[in-house]
Chains A and B, each alone.
Chain A
């Protein structure tokens, strides 16, 4: 059972000035898990994801990837980052590179593949997200949904052990949201381990094995979607789910 654990997060704390954004977060992720983080803005969900690959350095606490400590590790953080894919709310594609070159560049510079290998791998990933035709377009020529799928391909090309999604559809309209979620659902079903910050409850209900509700830098409660949504233990969780329901219609039933 234990060797199935890919990621362990232990008592993470993070302060910005006087405000404590994360106050003691701990959880474990098993291979193939999809965990969805929900909670109102400012509760530290994005900060938490960024702590996992150390884009934000936590004040205290430990993070382990496959039993190797990511925080204060002897190994270069860049070694771990290759194994932790990340997808951002604003895509953050490299604007001066075509779609295929966006996927290629880290393969060439970080993984040290030669150009031909990198091109093959990049095309493979673009095909996987359904963007073979768009390979030679620049980010500014792509729709938001296409851009986000390129950024997913870019992360996947590194063959990560785990993928972090930081509100991947928040900048997209409903139609485009659908095409991105479809790619993510596929990934999840094919066994990718994923941590997703999102308020797309339809997605959460259909693929997550755990929903984690965060409040004021802490995990208030967590559980499988069916349980957490039908019978939340805390009034606060219920309120929040109600608000989501008002916005998006009844969820998960």
Chain B
């Protein structure tokens, strides 16, 4: 595991108020675009100001610019904005054809078919694990996830596996963020348990943590190009896979999937970058 996780985005951080003006305006513009995620609900300048904590005059300037650039649509009738189709041009396409995802997809689908379950490749964003790739076996009707679904960071097996991978300083910082995001929730025991499992066997098992009667197993995929970024996890109905079976059968199989994905992605041409 690379110790460079400090480079991991803290996307829920407010835009910096200091620094060069060009950096500030870009940071604020990005913050504003993200304020429409994940459901792209139409919002007025006032609502956007409240959601982002930016001054309303700033928001008005930014929405005007973003509309002129085509990334926001303006709804005359309600004086609201929302993301326009052009926002799909901001990296979405090349991202979905990234080597990592294209190659992982083939292995994941075979794994889902062979074991008749749902397998997910996810990345952390804010307080969620965002599902990038979702493959299901023929009869796998458990857990309702699709590409784009957001699973709560501390409650999903994948989130717990990711948290367990953090270096101590980042881990401590994240615990403070979790306390703010989930006030009153007792998260520590489950996270410590997951960390102990990861240390012992490189995967962790959760029991009905996201949905009742669904158990999950997760492990980090270590690509040289993006250490600590992707997590692979699978979900199964608890009646078919009680926790002991997850531990003894599914976990090792998931590690084998992880090994296959990693082996497929040993960097060829940009190996020098990692």
Bind each other: no
